[in-house]
Chains A and B, each alone.
Chain A
Amino acid sequence: MHKILVAAVAACLVVVVLFSGCGGTTTGSSEASAGTDATTAPAGTAAADSQGDQLTGDPIVIGAVVSTTGPNAPLGEPERMALELFEKQINAAGGVLGRPLDVVVLDDQSNAKEAVTATQRLLQQEKAVAVIGASGSASTLAMKAITAQAGIPQIAMAASNNITSEPPSDWIWRVAPKDDLAVERAVSHVAEGLRVTKIAVLYDENAFGSSGLAQIEKVKDRYGIEVVAKESYKTDETDLTAQLTKLKGSNPEALIVWGTNPGPAVAAKNLKQLAWDIPYVGSHGIANAKFIELAGEAAEGVTFPTTKILFPESITDPEQKALIEKLITDYTAEFGQAPNHFSSHGWDGIAVLVAAIEQAKSTEPAALQAALNGLTDFTGADGIFTYTATDHDGLKVDDLIMVRVEGGKWALAQ
């Protein structure tokens, strides 16, 4: 009886291991797969080569580390596709400084250690003149240490504040709106969109939520907002009615909930349960279908900040509008699906670098650094970028819009 049981479990373990093989694991399942990534890396290189026949000169190699597998794959895949599209288009239009552009894309498997390995490969073997990456904040920070030491420009696509706020930060620029910017957009919506002054804040105790609260406290006076109450919750907490009841007692006019799924979804459901009809302003962490799936009907009316690509009608700058409309058309034609804000990060990542190379008429690191720091009013998909020696984030509050959940879908909020 005992032996049969052992055999049964051994069989189950084999099944689970096979299962995980199919699922695509995150825990750097093998040093071996880093090897296979070399061969999967770029469909991009092949495309460049075929276009590059008309262009002379050595290719300009730009490296990119994105998560095409692992939990961050929903971010990395659209980024990769945008990079591929840009490379194809620019090479068809004459390349960069007359030379073909070669974007070498490597997969970090949503793992910071793999990101480091990939970056080293890009710098040492591929001789990249600049690097774009990564999809997630942890990998980006890991890469930053390497690019800063090597003195090679890195363009980040992740939102964590400390990517540009913590040293070393002379060699890293960002194209995605950073967390603090999203907070400020939410606060400006409360002040100018909802036109109220008293808010309550419910925030996740982790770094994301706490830094959100800190930023609210920092910018509130500029918008004439008063934080009448604030309560925290633990990321995995099962019930937030106690915190919400306490917040309700301070009679706020709007509620800002700063956290990533599932907390804000629990908060939305609890709000409905308490029958508390207060405007709910969430973070960019709920800018996904998951929030609506978790919160169900309670998601109705929730607003959050995000970039303009999904609502081209909200773009006021004609150049940006034309760029986005062309991007949507070309991207959909190439890949059969519309681009999302991760695609626009990927696009801006390479666009900003190419603009700097053309401005500097060189790929030397120092020249690129100067060109990037001098980039002014550059029209990207995520917004209008202006970098300086001290501002490597480039975007303004106006580059973000507020979106509301209506009928289980997203709609532009006024």
Chain B
Amino acid sequence: MTFEQLLQYIFSGLTSGSIYALTALGFTLIYNATGLINFAQGELVMLGGLSAVGLYQAGLPLPVAFLGSLTIVLIVTVLFQQLAIRPLLSRGVLAQVIATVGASLALRTAAMMIFGREALPLPAFSGDTPIRIFGASLNPQTLWVVGSTLLIVLALQLFYRRTLTGKAVRACAVNPLAARLMGVSYSNVVLLSFAVSGAISAAAGVMITPISFMTYSSGALLGLKGFAAAALGGLGNPVGAVVGGVALGILEGLGVGLVSSGYKDAIAFVILLLVLFLRPQGIFGGKAVEQE
């Protein structure tokens, strides 16, 4: 394998990896606030992409469609949290997780009925001309995704460490009861986390649609790989989510190059299994898995 090829595999991995990273971030935000794994996360990404397509095809300019889809998915996520998660709080985490599975099916079917079964495209944000670096080529759209991921992580870190609300969110992740005793509104924190998670996933969806189109069924694979990425990086750690996502993407790309394309998906799931067996807290995870 030449250096050019190696670089190209890494760039391919960067493209998919940054999408996994943003999806993993979505998982992480909700996990931090509620201890839940949101199995509808992939569908939120899908919905973001398809909403933007719908708005763009209705005649709105691309930036407006982008913001519009963020708004739509944000509303859907908040509604979902208020109507499906919140009433089940007294029933425990398992009931809420099952609710997220139900939501993922509902969103998928709604998308199929509204947008049809075919793949839908969006134009690239800044054109299609690839950027050549040392003989390998990078899709300019990938830079948008990577750039946004970095911005979002930076913004999140500033939010968590420098703002009072951010600290309140962290407090809820550590000990919800103590946080409430200190005057933090737990339900508002949860609402905020879901909303931001939905917006980030929607942004991921809009940004990947120009690269690989979006179909009503795209959410399933994205959600599973995003979860594997989050687990790899350490569930609950935003930086871990991004590192996990990019690492997973690059490992997949190298796997195709060095081994075979048939095993590409297997790589993600083998990694997930290895992480769960050997180091359940992930790369950046601090403490070991807690027992209730």
Chain A residues at the B interface, C-beta cutoff of 8 Å: 2, 5-6, 8-9, 12, 16, 19-20, 23, 25-26, 71, 205, 231-234, 236-239, 241-243, 245-246, 248-249, 261-262, 265-266, 269, 272-275, 290, 293-294, 296-298
Contact = CB atoms under 8 A, between A and B. Distances in A.
A20 B13 CA distance: 38
B83 A297 contact: no
Given A5-B79, A273-B139, A275-B137, A242 B252 contact: yes
B12 interface: yes
A-B residue pairs, 4 tightest by C-beta = A238-B212, A262-B119, A242-B256, A241-B12
Contact of A273 (B114, B117, B128): B128
Contacts of B121: 293-294, 296
B262 A232 contact: yes
A294 B139 CA distance: 16
6 contacts: A16-B113, A238-B15, A241-B15, A243-B261, A274-B130, A294-B119
Contact of B215 (A6, A262, A269): A262
Contact of A245 (B9, B19, B83, B262): B9
Nearest to B263: A232
B186 to A, nearest CB: 16
A5 B83 contact: yes
Nearest to A27: B109
Nearest to A20: B113
Given A5-B83, A25-B113, A241-B15, A262 B212 contact: yes
B15 A239 contact: yes
Interface size range of chain B in the complex: 35 or more
Given A5-B83, A19-B113, A236 B12 contact: no
Given A233-B261, A290-B118, 19 more contacts: A19-B113, A25-B113, A231-B256, A232-B262, A234-B264, A236-B215, A236-B221, A238-B16, A238-B218, A241-B8, A242-B13, A242-B253, A245-B5, A245-B9, A265-B213, A273-B128, A273-B130, A273-B139, A294-B119
Interface in B249-287: 252-253, 256-257, 260-262, 264-265
B149 to A, nearest CB: 15
Contacts, number: 115
Contacts of B130: 272-275
Contacts of B2: 249
B1 A272 contact: no
A6 B83 contact: yes
A202 to B, nearest CB: 9
A191 B141 CA distance: 37
Interface string B201-212: 000000010011
A19 B116 CA distance: 12
Contact of A237 (B1, B137, B212, B217): B212
Contact of A234 (B1, B116, B211, B221): B221
A111 to B, nearest CB: 13
B110 interface: yes
A71 B261 contact: no
B11 interface: yes
A71 B8 contact: no
Contacts of A233: 261, 264
B94 to A, nearest CB: 23
Contacts of A25: 113
Nearest to B11: A241
Contacts of A294: 119, 121, 213
Given A261-B119, A273-B139, A245 B257 contact: yes
Nearest to B14: A239
Nearest to B6: A245
Contact of A297 (B128, B220, B257): B128
Among A2, A232, A248, A273, chain B packs the most CB atoms within 10 A around the CB of A273
B71 interface: no
A94 B83 CA distance: 67
B107 to A, nearest CB: 11
Contact of B212 (A245, A266, A274): A266
A239 B5 contact: no
Contacts of B208: 238
B82 interface: yes
A239 B262 contact: no
A205 B263 CA distance: 11
A254 B292 CA distance: 59
B79 to A, nearest CB: 6
Given A6-B83, A232-B261, A236-B218, A23 B113 contact: yes
Given A9-B79, A231-B256, A242-B256, A262 B13 contact: no
Contacts of B137: 273-275
B212 A16 contact: no
A23 B115 CA distance: 10
A208 B117 CA distance: 18
Interface string B112-154: 0110111101000000101010000101000000000000000
Nearest to B213: A262
B261 A19 contact: no
A402 B52 CA distance: 36
A414 B2 CA distance: 36
Nearest to B79: A9
A275 B253 CA distance: 19
Contacts of B110: 16
A71 B252 CA distance: 33
Nearest to B4: A245
Nearest to B221: A236
Contacts of B5: 245-246, 248-249
A249 B261 contact: no
Contacts of B265: 234
A242 B128 contact: no
A249 B257 CA distance: 10
B82 A5 contact: yes
Contacts of A26: 117
Among A234, A242, A274, A290, chain B packs the most CB atoms within 10 A around the CB of A242
Contacts of B119: 261-262, 265, 290, 294
